[in-house]
Amino acid sequence: MEFLLESAREIGMNALRVWGGGRFEAEEFYRMADRKGILLWHDLMFACALYPIDGPFLTNIKHEITTHITRIKNHPSILVWSGNNENELAIRQRWWVVGSYPMGQQIKDYITLYKDTIKPLVATLDESRPFLLSSPSNGVQTEAEGGVSINPGNPSYGDIHFYDDLSNLWTPKTFETPRCATEYVQSYPLKWTMTQYINESEWYYTSDDMLHRQHKPGGFITVIKQVFDHFQLPKGCNPSITNVSTCLTGNFMNQFAYLSQFHQAIAYQVELSIIVDGEDV
């Protein structure tokens, strides 16, 4: 944790995002962020799913939100609260096509949960910070449209999640110029991280354990393409992203994970230069 936050500070990052598919962090995380001057965009713990709105569930989430916001709201590092990760976007993009649960009802239940229940609760618990219904979201424009925008993630409003994975992410023309970008580009963790949770024999990117942890459909294919587009392949490794069986050794995976992070770092540099300076790299 110390290494993560100090690394962010040393390279000039002044904000990080606590993702809604993760967890509320331990107290020490927020203390470190306070000390290092790193602001936190903080999602509540809802992500990429439809949630119920029955009485017992609403009681449960009210208790969870009250407990954690009361616990951490006095940390100056917290910049903004966000209701969820990608649930508004998912409804509009029809991630879940269920005949018995049409989009209109999904929208109605979404508004009940995030706009009518969670938003006023957060406002009561913490009057000092803004609350956004979702990420990505069109901010005040989403509110003007009733709580679910026609086009969530419009770069003219709010924040976006950018995943034009198959394009060259080392060239400025690939990127949009949004008001705020809160998520983009994947990379793989290094071996010492992953083997805390999987067997070393599963340390290759098409293993059952690795695929189970890859929640973006086709995500490992896009990362392979990003790396292979910019770096020389190890001998004996097939460059076709449709035939990766010759690249499955643990030794290759060690190199591949590092190169995926290197690729992501350059992509971040390009995108941030556009946003901060309005200049090509």
d(CA 94, CA 133): 18
User: What does the pLDDT look like over 114-139, one tens digit per residue?
Assistant: 999 999 999 999 999 999 999 999 99
If asked whether residues 204 and 122 sit together in one domain, one would say no
Residue 279 has pLDDT above 90, yes or no: no
Give one DSSP letter per residue of 135-147, joined into a string. BSB-THHHHHTTS
**Residue-wise pLDDT tens digits, 202-255:** 988 778 998 898 888 778 888 888 888 898 776 666 555 555 555 655 577 888
Q: Are residues 107 and 208 in the same domain?
A: no
pLDDT in tens, 146-193: 999 999 989 999 999 998 888 999 999 898 888 888 998 889 999 999
Same domain, 79 and 128: yes
Token pair, residue 93, equals 């993009």
Domain span holding position 245: 187-277
Residue 178 lies in a domain: no
Domain membership flag for residue 172: no
The residue annotated as part of the active site, out of 10, 25, 28, 86, is 86
Whether residue 169 lies inside any domain: the answer is no
- Of 161, 177, 209, the one marking the end of a domain is 161
- Tally of domains within the chain: 2
CA-angle at 261, arms to 256 and 262, nearest 5°: 95
**Token pair of 171 as six digits:** 């060239």
87 within a domain of the structure (yes/no):
yes
Its sign, for the CA torsion 121, 127, 128, 134, is positive
Give yes or no: residues 214 and 129 share one domain.
no
Shared-domain flag, residues 249 and 119? no
What CATH number is given to the structural domain containing 138? 3.20.20.80
pLDDT at 281: 43
Helix (H, G, I), strand (E, B) or coil at 206: coil
Q: Is 279 a catalytic residue?
A: no
Q: For the segment 93-111, what is each residue's pLDDT rounded down to a tens digit?
A: 999 998 899 999 999 999 9
Digit-coded pLDDT (tens) for 1-35: 899 999 999 988 899 999 999 999 999 999 999 99
